Structure 1
């Protein structure tokens, strides 16, 4: 007859302490039921420090090593099993403290084996044959005294196996922590603090698509707590939420108000303040209609888990927010933070505790959704969002759709409870946030981005950016984005060419990008345009009084010195946006555009005069005389073949100099006010509530074409484009021919981009957002008049592009992050963390000709 197995439930993340006398079989048990890496043996650690596992004089150092390794494992989230006698309360106390320090459950497995068996096993081991019998007897006495007190000491679970037979029948069953629901992927609708607003809850659930507490598409509601107190119908809220949880259509975490209500229902002494008195009165009215309701509420509240980790670890839901180190952990400290948050120890002018802004320091990969601290508007901050928008105080009841990250809310029907202080942005990530601070950008920084992970900014680069930003930049409130640098195409080996589009097409083909768009490279300067529909829109989103937008360079400086001229540019763009119907179609009152402003001489006049024009003027002054003298000498037969070679060389140099002058003059033409000035927008970066960086380029350009079409002033210019299939030779040849034709007419070249935007290669990494392929004649401006000579091309082809490409992708990821934060309504300092990092990376040393 097969004996039934004894199943021992052991949590996946826990500190498992084996307890038993020497010879009770702890090491054998550990080897049989746990992975070798999970087990830490005191004997092994004794051997590490003393080269002798039985050297008892080394026990102190051995346990120091054991505790250190155990701490490292627990900090990393790995189950750890301690194989030692652990029969003394002092030794167990240290392990319980270790578990608490790392917010994991301490579990005890007791192996209670008869003294005779222990003695026989020790006698059979050569290294313990001489172990005195009294040691085993002492261990047995200490074990007997300890067993009944283990739970009181702090062990969450205690499994006692009595005798060899029970030990042999034991089976370890790994169980999930209560808060570990990573296997549930949703989709979810996460609802903020309700506070007894039952009618608003029903309205919100209806707006989310729920019918009688269930969603026809199988979505799951998740409640962040504070269901009760202050509002008109806490029992109604409880009844709805309890029913949904029981039916499996909802999850719920406790708020501090549920915690207090639970203590009241258990008969504890609590003050009837902060809305509890209203809930008690409402429950008393329920007693006559439903005598069992209180008991069900108490059972429900007692069963709530402090927080949940959901969707493969990408989502954490709790009441008051939770730093990453507490995610999935289980301790009183974790529960306290999840219920109440953390405070600075100070009180504000209303006598309320000042909350510690944990979200400002949050850099975790999981999104944390919480409530607790009322804010006027739910906004993202460091991948966290507070959904308590003060419904009971007359605000709104808000839900977050996950994974869509879409906010849905309904207004409060009235002010149900007067707040102790005005409903304003006190929680981290509020709309106004806090002022910009030197500490946000000073020194070495690591910026967490959603599309490329962590991007590091070196201290010296941050200092250079700070100089530019503080002295020359436009109002930072109106600089929510800086465009990334752009890498050139790989160096061409074609005769006479340094850059050629074949390499750009080949690179994207190798990256797995099948369709690209070739966009005309305009003969101007990069400009970012922030245009608001009116002054009210600029004030509401960007906090400025007066300006209705900004026009700035890729380093954040005002593009035009004349403010009136800038206002006129914005007015014309604004009119075109309105006439094209984009305010309506994009549901926005502001737009952020990436564009080219022409002519180049509008911004680079000084550079043209001091650098480029000077070269051309010197050539015009020198070559005519030199050529005349050489021609005369050749005509007289002076110098023979040598003089003719010299003459031919100087004629070529003169022709190169003339080509150089022709090249830069194409970028210069006279302007008067805005007469002669053109703006060519090529991407809509963001609108209210949306980053549009992921919008495919064909859709982007179609929207911009509408703007150009409706511009009646002649300011706006279309960006010409051609789509190329990188895997089709004929399509690639057409792209090359288009480039040759355009540059042959004096055009600067083109930028090749993935048509779908936000493209990734086969390894999941961002590919280049754009590759510039500049024309043969334009590159004279960059590399000098004589760069096309074979000996010069041979030297120039040895150019290192790796750093430039890395820089382009890092800046691109930071730009995307700034746009996401801007669209999410995050405060200025959060947006500028990414903006400033782009500017800082620009000071990394790289060949400026690239």
Structure 2
């Protein structure tokens, strides 16, 4: 809109735009910019010259300065930030480059012209000693400006504001910024997003009824909408959002238009245009449009309508916005979908993509254009819901979903409930049209589209420095050098990545104990949670096994459907570094079969309404997975000591008997012999022969996830109880973890925990784990340790060596630092939960793997492995 030759006190520009200040030197552009825009929004050509040459008036570097300015502007526009170009911009060629940049980032160019008189510019420049260019420059710039100013709209500027005098500029009070029409971020829903209707009025009414809306079908009015209670207890009414293609091919285009127009005009619904709607608008506007692909039916159906109705249809269709950005940018609705860099932007290219999508330029065997599947490469944070291309079943692909399920072709009309991510569909009453191309052409019936492409992940997502965001903690940085180590581990040693949905975190011990002869003691663990303000904890027996993640599916069909895994059975067991626990696949599947039997026998699948489960567990014996470690490290030390120390002690005893002053040495080596004997007994407790599956014991302690759910909102007592029920189905294999609940601050309760730990460790047990009652606990600083381990004296002998409890060694070990271990545990905990959340919410595998990969990368940080 042009605002030339008018007194302006207020002007309005789009909130996302590229603003060009246009005017000769001395026109007051920089002063104007500082008056109405933030310093960070202004890119000055003078400043860019100064940045690269230390002289803002060095015209010899103007080309380089422009490159700098363009680079900065591009980065800002990419991030969706309004940007102001403070330069003369009087030549059409200079403006052309900026308009081109605006189009590249799908933002609107705005021209603010300071068309000042020559004497004003010269007078202002006379006060600036640094402006020593010739007298011809200003007249030349003014001439260039005035020759091209009337063509600004033709150059691409939708908004032009012109000021002719300093007095006019002084009258300007504000520059308001208006959201683009597609910006509905303040609308949070809940929404029911409805796929392509194509004149199927009866099915649309049936779907709305199924969704809980009340429709006056005869009068085309939405009477009421269903209410939903949000997490804050507030009641919100649901709102339909239609993805376009309201008309053509079906039997009742006028009826659909009446209902949707009424809903939208009354503020009860939102609607974006489809390509069929846009074609109908061109026809109603008198354009030369071919009556094909169902438009001929719509025209015939509209033939009996009044001119007033047809005019209302024209106004309605003309007012539809290409797409909507909803719920703080978390949701985007567009007819044919939308790439991330186009979301919330306004340009002809954006509207074109929203209506038609993207094609490859080729035609298929049916003579139709081959559409480029933009969703395969989508990595945006916003969920994109669209239609346009009929599919047999709506399925998520990279946080996008096509909900056109071909109602007009005799299939179904589908809605996606947001934010629930639940699909609701009603069948078509009949087939109204025959598709030119079979629905689901080239579709794979076994795997979803997303699963078909999960085999190839983008290496850029897993190399270099990465900053990962989680909903449980602050952002987590993955260093490049750690990414390299994780990439090797994941590519060479890990199980089939489709199974890798979760890796458990490491666990930190409590503060070092000051108890005599002790390195760890329950008192410090209880104190940690007391300091964090936790009133109740749970103490679980710590089993000496290997940490294992166990995924069990009810059957192989579930493994294919949910995990995209074919030919690998119905489950897996892997270590906390993603490696297969069993070397033999048949043994693994026999093991999974036993757990599956327990789940079926106890009714787990029915109770939890799922076909699969992910368990965090300990698998015993330790020797089953740590055989090489035992032979090469622990057993080697024990065997060497058992053969050498008795000989040394015997020789020293003889020497003392013969009067040699070797009593101190005798005592020292006698003590070493006792310590080594205790060392051997300690590790042997955790080893037993494994000759068949009957020799294994699985100790689950967390139910991590089932279909559509995680269980981080359940306390640990709930987990223990639910797991006890599972273990009852296969007691020979599954072991329920003993635990006690402890009230922090209750001396009797705390002492009971200490005594229990003492009895466990006295009997040869490893110790216990102390956890806050809540699965996720926080204090004023944020997330606190989800668990701390308190290991017994004899188990620590395995970790630190036979002589660790010698006074001189204990003194040294008490200086161990826990901060690195604790930081690592919290970061891995947050990433593990985030990854599982993403998986159960059907996020792309690459987003799940960002978290899994992050945990593997963190594991390569230099932290004392004995902690």
What secondary structure does 1:309 align onto?
strand
Corresponding residue to 2:417 among 396, 401, 423: 401
Question: What is the match of residue 589 of structure 1?
Answer: 611
TM-score under structure 1 length normalisation: 0.87
Distance 2:745 2:377 in 1: 46
Report the equivalent of 1:105.
108
* Offset of residue 620 of structure 1: 3.7
Q: Deviations over 1:289-344 (max 9, x none)?
A: 45433332332222222333332333333333334333332222333333334445
Post-superposition Cα deviations, 1:16-61, rounded to whole Å, max 9, x if no partner, equal 2233455554444334333344344455556667777667666556
In the alignment, structure 1 residue 553 sits paired with structure 2 residue 579: no
Q: Deviations over 1:757-796 (max 9, x none)?
A: 24455455x5444333322211111111111112222333
Residues 139/229 of structure 1: CA separation in 2 closer, same or farther (3 Å cut): same
- Per-residue deviation, residues 79-126 of structure 1 (Å, max 9, x unmatched): 233344444323332332232233221112234455665666566777
Aligned to 2:622: 600
Distance 1:763 1:230 in 2: 60
Match in the other structure for 2:384: 368
Which residue is equivalent to 1:742? 760
* Match among 640, 655, 679 for residue 674 of structure 2: 655
Q: Deviations over 1:252-305 (max 9, x none)?
A: 2333333333333333334444x4x2x442343234245433332332222222
Distance 2:593 2:190 in 1: 43
Give 2:170's aligned residue: 168
Structure 2 residue aligned with 1:486: 507
Specify the alignment match of 1:757 in structure 2: 775
CA distance in 1, matches of 2:695, 2:284: 78
Aligned-residue offset at 1:596: 1.7
Maintained 8 Å contact 1:375/1:430: no
Cα deviation, residue 832, structure 1: 5.1
Give 1:189's match in structure 2, choosing from 187, 192, 207: 192
User: Aligned match of 1:13 in 16, 29, 53?
Assistant: 16
Residues 512 and 94 (structure 1), Cα distance of their counterparts in 2 relative to 1, 3 Å cut: farther
Alignment of 1:425-574 (within 5 A): 430-434=449-453, 436-437=455-456, 440=459, 443-444=463-464, 446=466, 448=468, 450-451=470-471, 474-508=495-529, 515-542=536-563, 543-545=565-567, 547-561=569-583, 565-574=587-596
Distance 1:253 1:500, change over 3 A: farther
Displacement after TM superposition at 1:718 (Å): 0.9
Match of 2:156 in 1: 154
- Aligned mate of 2:212, from 209, 213, 219: 209
- The residue number in structure 2 matching 1:790 is 807
Matched-pair contact (CA < 8 Å) for 1:549–1:570: yes
Q: Is the 8 A contact 2:253 2:301 kept in 1?
A: no
Distance in 2 between the 1:128 and 1:561 partners? 79
SS state at 2:837 partner: helix
Deviations, residues 724-746 of structure 1 (Å, cap 9, x unaligned): 45566665554444333322322
In 1, distance between residues paired with 2:531 and 2:403?
44
Paired residue for 2:322?
306
For residues 462 and 573 of structure 2, the distance between their equivalents in structure 1, rounded to whole angstroms, comes to 27
Give the TM-score, by structure 2 length. 0.85
1:773 maps to 790
Tell me how far apart the structure 2 counterparts of residues 126 and 472 of structure 1 sit (CA, whole Å).
Answer: 70
In structure 2, distance between residues paired with 1:430 and 1:70: 37
Instruction: Provide closer, same or farther for how the CA distance between residues 256 and 695 of structure 1 changes in structure 2, counting only shifts above 3 A.
Output: farther
Residue correspondences, number: 839
Q: Counterpart in 2 of 1:333?
A: 349
Displacement of 1:154 in angstroms is: 0.8
Q: Compared with structure 1, are the counterparts of its residues 788 and 155 closer, same or farther at alpha carbon in structure 2 (3 Å cutoff)? A: same
Q: What is the distance in 2 between the residues matched to 1:818 and 1:289?
A: 55
Superposition deviation, residue 155 in structure 1: 0.5
Residue of structure 2 in register with 1:709 after alignment: 728
Match of 1:263 among 278, 282, 297: 282
Query: Partners in 2 of 1:744 and 1:775 — Cα distance?
Result: 8
Q: CA offset at residue 638 of structure 1?
A: 1.8
Q: Within 1, Cα distance between the matches of 2:201 and 2:209? A: 12
- In 1, are the aligned partners of 2:549 and 2:615 still within 8 Å (CA)? yes
Runs of 5+ unmatched residues, structure 2: 1-5, 216-221, 228-235
Q: Residue 617 of structure 1: CA displacement?
A: 3.7
Q: Sort the Cα spacing of 1:122 and 1:162 in 2 relative to 1 into closer, same or farther, 3 A.
A: same
What secondary structure is seen at the aligned counterpart in 2 of 1:97? helix
In the alignment, is residue 250 of structure 1 matched against residue 252 of structure 2? no
Q: Mapping of 1:12-91 within 5 angstroms?
A: 12-21=15-24, 24-42=27-45, 63=66, 65-91=68-94
* C-alpha distance in 2 between matches for 1:337 and 1:453: 36
Distance in 2, matches of 1:472 and 1:86, equals 59
Mapping 1:129-144, distance limit 5 Å: 132=135, 141-144=143-146
Verify the 8 A CA contact 1:321 1:369 in the aligned structure 2.
yes
Give the superposition deviation at 1:8.
0.8
For residues 460-481 of structure 1, give each alpha carbon's deviation from its aligned partner in whole angstroms, at most 9, with x where no partner exists. Answer: 7666666666666555555544
- Contact kept, 8 Å, 1:663 with 1:777, in 2: the verdict is yes
Give 1:9 shift: 0.7
Q: What's the counterpart of residue 340 of structure 2? A: 324
CA distance in 2, matches of 1:558, 1:37: 52
**3-state SS of 2:169 partner:** helix
CA distance in 2 between counterparts of 1:630 and 1:312 reads: 79
Contact 1:385 1:429 in 2 (8 A): no
Aligned counterparts of 2:252 and 2:467: Cα–Cα separation in 1: 45
The match for 1:93 is 96
- Verify the 8 A CA contact 1:751 1:770 in the aligned structure 2: yes
Structure 1 residue matching 2:626: 3-state secondary structure: helix
In structure 2, distance between residues paired with 1:59 and 1:686: 60
Partner of 1:689: 708
Q: Distance in 1 between matches of 2:214 and 2:53?
A: 69
Instruction: List gaps (5 residues or longer) in structure 1.
Output: none
TM-align CA RMSD: 3.9
Q: Distance in 2 between the 1:128 and 1:835 partners?
A: 59
3-state SS of the aligned residue for 2:214?
Answer: coil
- Secondary structure of the residue aligned to 1:702 is helix
Task: Mark the CA change 1:93 to 1:53 in structure 2 (over 3 Å): closer, same or farther.
Answer: same
Distance 1:48 1:252 in 2: 48
Deviation at 1:670, TM superposition (A): 4.4
Are 1:288 and 2:288 an aligned pair? no
Q: Work out the CA distance in 2 between the residues paired with 1:719 and 1:326.
A: 53
Q: 2:660 aligns with which of 632, 639, 645?
A: 639
1:812 aligned partner: 829
**CA distance 1:736–1:724, change in 2 (3 Å):** same
Q: How does 1:620-639 map to 2 (within 5 A)?
A: 620-634=642-656, 636=657, 638-639=659-660
1:199 corresponds to 2:220:
no
SS in 2 for 1:149: helix
